[in-house]
């Protein structure tokens, strides 16, 4: 969403069919397993199987063996969490639920379509999701407690690597660090006034009930994702929105009236209230951006060319040029060094870089600088840029000297898996488990279910 605070944008994938009514196909329910005081029903297994089908997941062997065991493992963790008084943070759960509901709305198009699809209102859907997310949070906390925080020593990492067969040594993909310098075209006052006048005319038309806000958002908003939903953003807290937008959105009282024109780093908006709930608000908005003229774009490119000339003459370093000229505040503060939002580090695989940047640096060596190119920045604005390859490590077989952290991560993953396996095997000895005879003929991952 164009107005979301960049620091809080998270990429997650969520199966839109996790509660689909199709899963509720008529089946005569039965108890397949009992773990502790919790039953695993045939309907639970079918629901899990339908989700896997949608996600394109598959298992080796019989799904009617694999799925109940996975559900049983979840119940083991939840049972121990209850004993250990582990609870989830309600605020974190609430935020996760709202993010997922907003994602679902973005997939189906509107709140109304979502309610129709699941054959339940948003409140009921939120309740179902809350239970699911709550359990997920508890299981994760329980697993972290089991794993503990024991430190991994370099000697352990080296020993682990020395035992790996040749064909099990991981391949390390090409990794690159990139510094970026961006120059933005100037925007004329007349372009800005044109956009503001158009938004004011939209406000007048909606306030006069001549047209629907959602119709105008679909037709004109430059926030393409929310435009698909008539401008609707879904419930958001103040911290999820940039301050200027949040101040106006949370001040709205009358859903029939439209806000004044609001300027943010993303452009200009008008906002309409849909609903308030606690410390969250759901609004529609229309975003429009004033456009630079061809002459203004040419001037920006000339300015960038002059910066390149200074760099070529070695009068100034790339870092100095970023500090003096780059318009991107985020990368300017880090001397142009881009940070990978997936890992939190400055290292990227080529596929993780923004497409425009990856295309520009693809054939460069370490220390080389691209020719000027045009790109769209994180706010959706056209800018002109040059990029420098700060470091480049080409694809290779892992070795301890160059790839210690990657090998350490692989070792930690294996060790954590072994710790969890040992815990499950021990837990099986003390918890009541009953499996219906029809569900016992399986080659389980953990044979201790049947006593």
Tokens encoding 69: 């065991």
pLDDT at 14 over 80: no
pLDDT at 105 over 60: yes
Instruction: Supply the pLDDT for residue 54.
Output: 63
Separation of alpha carbons 443 and 6, rounded Å: 47
pLDDT at 108 over 70: yes
| Candidate from 6-15, 123-132, 284-293 with smallest mean pLDDT | 6-15
pLDDT at 6 over 50: no
- Flag whether the pTM goes above 0.85: no
> Average pLDDT, stretch 36-48?
91
pLDDT in tens, 363-402: 999 999 999 999 988 888 899 999 999 999 999 999 998 8
Instruction: Supply the pLDDT for residue 279.
Output: 86
With bands split at pLDDT 50, 70 and 90, how would you rate the model's confidence at 28? low
pLDDT at 284 over 90: yes
Phi-psi region for residue 61, left (φ > 0), alpha (ψ -120 to 50) or beta?
left
Tokens encoding 356: 């425009």
Separation of alpha carbons 107 and 116, rounded Å: 13
Query: Within 10 A of 10 (CB to CB), how many other CB atoms are there?
Result: 10
> Average pLDDT, stretch 286-307?
94
Is residue 326 a contact partner of residue 353, using CB atoms and an 8 Å limit?
Answer: no
Instruction: Supply the pLDDT for residue 15.
Output: 40
Half-sphere exposure of 277 (CA within 13 A, CB side): 13
Is residue 58 a contact partner of residue 52, using CB atoms and an 8 Å limit?
Answer: yes
- Nearest C-alpha neighbor of 226 from the set 284, 289, 273, 275: 284
- The terminus-to-terminus CA distance of the chain in angstroms comes to 53
With bands split at pLDDT 50, 70 and 90, how would you rate the model's confidence at 449? very high
- Nearest C-alpha neighbor of 81 from the set 29, 49, 36: 36
Share of the chain above pLDDT 90, in %: 66
- Residue 241 is given by DSSP the state B
Instruction: Supply the pLDDT for residue 55.
Output: 66
pLDDT at 52 over 90: no
Tokens encoding 61: 């062997």
pLDDT in tens, 343-367: 888 999 999 999 999 999 999 999 9
Three-state SS at 226: helix
Mean pLDDT, the chain, whole residue set: 88
Domains of the chain: 6-153+412-449 (1.10.4030.10), 174-394 (3.10.50.40)
Between helix 122-147 and helix 111-118 the angle, nearest 10°, is 80
Instruction: Supply the pLDDT for residue 102.
Output: 81
Tokens encoding 194: 């044109």
> Average pLDDT, stretch 6-23?
38
Question: DSSP letters of 38-50?
Answer: EEEEHHHHHHHHH
- Nearest C-alpha neighbor of 375 from the set 389, 361, 365: 361
> Average pLDDT, stretch 148-165?
91
pLDDT in tens, 184-238: 999 999 999 999 999 999 999 999 999 999 999 999 999 998 998 899 998 888 9
């Amino acid at each position: 969403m164009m107005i979301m605070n960049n620091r809080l944008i998270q990429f997650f994938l969520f199966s839109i069919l996790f509660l689909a009514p199709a899963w509720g196909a008529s089946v005569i329910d039965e108890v397949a397993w009992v773990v502790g005081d919790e039953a695993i029903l045939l309907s639970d297994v079918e629901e899990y199987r339908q989700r896997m089908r949608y996600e394109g997941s598959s298992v080796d062997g019989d799904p009617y063996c694999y799925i109940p065991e996975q559900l049983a493992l979840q119940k083991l963790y939840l049972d121990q969490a209850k004993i250990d008084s582990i609870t989830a943070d309600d605020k974190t759960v609430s935020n996760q639920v709202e993010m997922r509901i907003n994602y679902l709305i973005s997939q189906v198009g509107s709140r109304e379509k979502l309610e129709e699809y699941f054959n339940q209102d948003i409140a009921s859907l939120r309740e179902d999701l809350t239970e699911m997310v709550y359990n997920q949070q508890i299981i994760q906390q329980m697993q972290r407690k089991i794993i503990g925080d024991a430190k991994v020593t370099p000697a352990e990492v080296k020993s682990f690597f020395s035992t790996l067969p040749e064909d099990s040594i991981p391949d390390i993909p090409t990794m690159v660090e990139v510094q970026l310098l961006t120059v933005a075209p100037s925007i004329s006052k007349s372009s800005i006034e044109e956009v503001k006048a158009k938004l004011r005319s939209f406000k007048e038309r909606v306030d006069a009930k001549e047209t629907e806000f959602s119709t105008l958002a679909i037709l004109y908003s430059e926030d393409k994702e929310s435009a698909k939903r008539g401008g609707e953003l879904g419930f958001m807290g103040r911290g999820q929105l940039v301050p200027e937008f949040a101040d106006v959105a949370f001040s709205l009282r009358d859903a029939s009236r439209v806000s004044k024109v609001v300027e943010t780093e993303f452009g200009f908006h008008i906002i309409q209230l849909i609903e308030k709930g606690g410390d969250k608000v759901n609004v529609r908005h229309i975003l429009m951006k004033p456009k630079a003229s061809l002459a203004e774009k040419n001037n920006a490119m000339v300015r960038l060319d002059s910066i390149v000339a200074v760099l070529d003459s070695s009068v100034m370093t790339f870092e100095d040029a970023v500090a003096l000229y780059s318009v991107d505040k985020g990368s300017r503060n880090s001397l142009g060094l881009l940070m990978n939002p997936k890992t939190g580090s400055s290292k990227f695989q080529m596929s993780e870089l923004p497409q425009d940047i990856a295309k520009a640096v693809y054939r460069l060596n370490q220390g080389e600088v691209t020719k000027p190119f045009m790109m769209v920045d994180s706010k959706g604005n056209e800018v002109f840029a040059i990029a420098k390859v700060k470091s480049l490590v080409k694809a290779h077989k892992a070795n301890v000297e160059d790839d210690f952290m990657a090998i350490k991560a692989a070792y930690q993953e294996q060790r954590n898996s072994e710790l969890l396996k040992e815990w499950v095997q021990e837990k099986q000895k003390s918890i009541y488990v009953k499996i219906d005879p029809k569900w016992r003929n399986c080659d389980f991952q953990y044979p201790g279910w049947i006593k």
